Amino acid sequence: MLSKDDQQALLAWYDEHQRDLPWRQSDDPWAILLSEILLQQTQVSRGLVYWQRMVETFPTIASMAQAPVDAVLKAWEGAGYYSRARRLHALSQQVMLPKAEGGFDGQLPSTYGDLLSLPGIGPYTAAAVASIAFGQSVACVDGNIRRVMARRTAQADPTSKQVQAWADAALHPARPGDWNQALMELGATVCTPKRWNCGGCPVRASCAGKENPGAFPTPKKQRVTSLNLVAVVEFALDGHPVLHQRPMTGIFAGLWGPVYHEDAPTGLEDLVNCGTVNHQLSHRKIEVRVHLKHHDLATHGTPRSGVAISSLDEKVLNLASEYATANPHIQKSEAKG
């Protein structure tokens, strides 16, 4: 539990030491929502770049709702976890609907319950936006807060219910948004997973876990799966790659890229082996063997700048392009971006 003195100490520390992040200067709920969705699975340093791009491309909910989903995916390009971009687009369209049709007349709702009803919004994001953008007294729970709670109470494996109950009891009713951010900031910058700084912690005196922070919480083993793919890359006679839009479900859904096969396709022996690309997602290692088609080429390809491409596909196309450029005898066209 955090006493009133602890609360004051943590808020005073947050007021003085919080990182200077642009969404913290904004009181626009849409800009705050974009930051929360981006930062769910993207580091702050990278999230800054993508947040700026999203805010500039879609300054309002209406501007995103009017855009095709492909434009949202293009703006999201490189941020990963593209289902977030597709759900964000669905969210914007739902918010723009009239109330009679289940929407919110173009205004992002302010309550936890209404926010939770929107596509792509889970309990964390609903609580974060309700408290930070609308000043509602709702406690957030994310990985940082779970770790701070586990260490302060010296619990190795607190349940989600226990963490939520702790966060609810700790919430500062007058400054709920700042309070949630202060706890998360403590977890992100001081009470970090591997390099905690108890000496610089504003609530050290009352912490039960400070003698051995590494014991709380018990690290969870992550199961990493691996996936082996074969990519067939074709550069058309105009030099652009031949790209296909992936289905709206599954890996890299809705993005564009070369054809992938899980097993070696027939005719592989007629293609040129350019090498291998390795790519790491959070729980998955992907290895792609890249092959280049060099005969019966299409006349026109797809300029890369016009469609959304994943970082993996960028690597695959770059490897094939470099190979084609270094070996001009294998195909007539010169690969372009």
Q: Which residues are catalytic?
A: 36
Residue 291 near ligand SF4 by CB under 6 A? no
Residue 209 near ligand SF4 by CB under 6 A? yes
Pick between residue 38 and residue 170 the one whose CB is nearest to ligand SF4: 170
Pick between residue 86 and residue 210 the one whose CB is nearest to ligand SF4: 210
Cβ proximity of 90 and 119 under 8 Å? yes
Residue 167 near ligand SF4 by CB under 6 A? no
Pick between residue 194 and residue 283 the one whose CB is nearest to ligand SF4: 194
Residue 17 near ligand SF4 by CB under 6 A? no
Sheet holding 259-261, edge to edge: 259-261, 225-234, 284-293, 272-280
Residues 131-150 that bind ligand SF4 (CB under 6 A): 148
Among 132, 201, 233, 320, binds ligand SF4 (CB under 6 A): 201
- Give min distance, CB of 185 to ligand SF4, in A: 12
Residue 191 near ligand SF4 by CB under 6 A? yes
Pick between residue 118 and residue 203 the one whose CB is nearest to ligand SF4: 203
Q: Which long-range contacts (CB under 8 A, 24 or more apart) does 243-251 make?
A: 243/301, 243/302, 243/304, 243/307, 243/309, 245/307, 248/86
Residue 190 near ligand SF4 by CB under 6 A? yes
In angstroms, rounded to a whole number, what is the distance separating the alpha carbons of residues 317 and 334? Answer: 13
Among 46, 204, 261, 336, binds ligand SF4 (CB under 6 A): 204
- Give min distance, CB of 197 to ligand SF4, in A: 6
Binding site for ligand SF4 (CB under 6 A): 148, 151-152, 190-191, 196, 198, 201, 203-204, 207, 209-210, 213
